[in-house]
Amino acid sequence: MRIQTICLVLLGACALGTAPLAAHDAQQKPPATTRPPAPPPTTANPAPAPAAAAPQTPARPAAAATRAARRASNVRGLLTVSGLFQPGTHDFTDAREFSYNREPAASTAGYAIERGAGIDAGVFVRLWRHLGAGASVSSVVRTSDANISARYPHPFFFNQARTASTSVGDLDRSELGVHLSAAWLLASTGRFGGVLYAGPTFFSITQDAVETLTVTETYPYDTVTIAPGGSPTELSERAVGFHAAADVTWFFSRRIGVGAMARYATAKKAVAIGTGKSFDLEAGGLQTGLGLRIRF
């Protein structure tokens, strides 16, 4: 009986101790939260997010053009040195009339000027933008041949002319040209450059010519022979003309390159040899060259 009473007392004490703890736990536990209802499903595709703009980088062509323009402003001119070739030929005729045995006589000498070679050197300077000025000097050495025919009266018979002919080779010919130019300098900041130019040309011409003839005849004087007499006569003349040309260059370094040029320069002067008739002594023609180019 006593044992039962003790057990009942202990059970009551445990019940009284757990009630405050349950109330305390109920106060400390946070209230339950409810989730909001989910939105109704939609069939519209979501708008894609805008792509991020790519970072802007400076255009390379524009930068290259700026660098080229800066270098172009530093290029002041061009120096040229070329070997020159002149493929054209010239002809002229020296015709004379004179008296022989108290009758009229005549001789004709036809000169053929051969191709020639030489050298050319020039300088071109930029004055404003692409406009510039230049000067160049060319020297060309050539040879010429003369074919001479003559008619001499017979010493015994009237109106019975005797004819003879001869030829002379390796007659020297030289042409010195001074070319003053207005020039258009093309852009020459990369591998290629060029110059277009034109203006007056001043030629100095030296030409060997046959002035005197030596006549040989023997009895009965039906034939006659002729030969040049003495040393050739040297003609020295000056002539003013014009030229137009183009020069292109490939630069294998910043300053030095190889260039080719083509120029047409011409001039002529009316002259006479001794007592002969006047004829036109021509100089120049088409000239081509290849050589060194230096820009500065």
Query: What CATH number corresponds to the domain at position 164?
Result: 2.40.160.20
Identify whether 150 is part of a domain. yes
Identify whether 48 is part of a domain. no
Amino acid symbol at 22 = A
Of 208, 147, 148, 209, the residue nearest 173 (C-alpha): 208
Of 224, 119, 116, 91, the residue nearest 163 (C-alpha): 224
Query: What is the SS3 assignment for 78?
Result: strand
Identify whether 110 is part of a domain. yes
With tokens 């050298």, the residue in question is 119
Looking at residue 189, what is its pLDDT?
62
Q: What is the pLDDT of residues 80-131, one digit of tens each?
A: 999 999 998 889 999 999 999 888 999 999 999 999 999 999 999 999 989 9
Identify whether 208 is part of a domain. yes
- CA–CA gap between residue 87 and residue 275 (Å, rounded): 32
Q: What is the pLDDT of residues 172-197, one digit of tens each?
A: 999 999 999 999 998 666 788 999 99
Identify whether 188 is part of a domain. yes
Domain that holds residue 85: 74-295
Identify whether 84 is part of a domain. yes
Identify whether 34 is part of a domain. no
Of 276, 175, 156, the residue nearest 217 (C-alpha): 156
Identify whether 92 is part of a domain. yes
Residue 285 · residue 86 · CB < 8 Å? yes
Q: How many domains does the chain have?
A: 1
